[in-house]
A and B are shown apart, each in its own frame.
Chain A
Amino acid sequence: MNRKLPREELTPPERQATWSVRAKVGANEALTLARPADYGHDTSGRPAGPARRAGPWHWMRSHRRQVTLLAFVVPALTYVILFFVYPLIYGFMMSVERIGFIAQSGPYIGLHNYIVEINDPVTREALTNTAIFLVASLFFQFTIGFGIASYFSRRFFLSRFLRSLIIIPWLFPPIASGTIFAIMFAGQGGIIDETLQSLHLISSPIFWFDSSFKAMFVIIFVNIWIGIPFNAVLLYSGLQDIPDELREASALDGASAWQRFRYITVPLLRPVSLIVIMLGIIYTVKTFDLVVVLTNGGPDNGSQLMSTWAYTLAFQNFQTGQGAAVANMLFVFCMIVAFFYIRATRREVAVA
């Protein structure tokens, strides 16, 4: 068992194969890790080696590469299964069971929770609100972020300093930002209404939280404020990556500023924009803390989002199964976006 084997005997021939780097010919250079042809644990065509020996220890020694690979994969796999797959499955199980206050498993009721929630007017309101919140937030975050990015793409006095200040809203915890905005939007003594009144733009306070429309406006406004830096910073770096020569050359060719923007900047910024928008969708659709602090989904569910509605169902009404169903609907939506995100980033990498 413990007989020492010569080193060569232990070492499968593929060990000697080298990892080679092959450069593709053409405009796009991509690094491709060439795989040795006999990579794998197929030992046919080689003299019977120690792999044939019985016992796990010998197997491990003869399959050193596979064991190494496994050693790398297992921790990651364990982590993913423990912290992602298991909760996901558990969440799904909860959504097809009748579960209340105490989240132990209940009787299986199929898609009942989903059907109840789809037919619930509050869920529909939350769905509409989430859609409005998503589209409005993304549109303004992106356009304003792009404006700021273009503004800073030219160097001027203090531009670097100011650029670093732009990131601040992104650094604040949403709970803190939300609380401060709640105070600012207050009808009595809130700085926004007071300022508008002192400018004689309004005669009495607006009371931002007494209608669905205004409450939605407030949460969208604050979310845009929070999201601008993220968009601005990524788009700024995207703009920096566009070679100046391209713009200069097209200017020499007589392209107007609009044409340079339309035919140079926009197409070259496309990969970054896609990433920004898709990450934005995922960030925005799961916004929760901000809304809880500002409106708590009110008035009368008027600013309820899918995320806050799932929480309200599960942890305030203790209709845990239905809360899980709503959360899963949100999750499926995020998965679809994530799928397109991954596909888009892959394609962009391939194209770039």
Chain B
Amino acid sequence: MLASGLFTLLLMVVLWLIGYFSVDIKLAAPLSAPTDLPPSREYLLGTDSAGRQLLAVMIAGTPTTLQIGLIAGALGMFIGTILGFTSGYFGGVVDSIIRSAADVALTVPALAVLVVIASVINKTLSPEILALIIASLAWMWPTRTIRAQVLTMRERAYVEIARLSGLNNFEIIFKELVPNLLPYLAASFVGAVSSSVLAAIGLEALGLGPQSEPTLGMTIYWARYYNGLPRGMWWWWAPPVIIIIMLFISLFMIASGLDEIANPRARRTTA
């Protein structure tokens, strides 16, 4: 699974690289070509109603979408990891506070909140700010799951041996627990990235994304805004959808593959 996921992602990266070096991305800007043209030899993916060359838009937009997902995912994981370890390892009052905070935040309907926030600060929205907004609601799940993992590992015999060998709490966390959790953290990270990407695309498709940047989600938004569907302009909305699907499938397979590696390690039975 891991292999197929990585391969698909790699394939996409290679295709993107080819595109990046062969197409001028300035053509992704509006009015760089005649509007509403179906795919032809000159414009491989046609153009949209604002005169953007769609091939250029795809090449320019995909990394932006991915970038939002990566920043949000990384930030969410970072916060989640710190909180999860603290909560799981130290227990007590600290655990109760963090856990309650995460539980409350989880009950919040994320997309609704994101929509509200995004529509309030619509004017100055950039991909980075979008990423921050998404991250603010992406930390809870990693916190809970990492806390659960730490709880199971905290009472393990090798942790007790480490204590008897004189290690203090931080040394135990970093030297004994984190290495064993690396596959799990990696799988969680990929999961966080893909859910952040989904949230970003969702917001953009609703029109709440960065207006001036070409991203996959915004393309879908513009396609709807300019009635691309009833007009049969499949070259406008189909490419972003296909790219999104492939992206998700590859990320999902990577996460599943990493999870498979993580679990047998965590549940190794005695010989």
Q: Do A and B come from one complex?
A: no
Interface residues of B (CB under 8 A from A): none
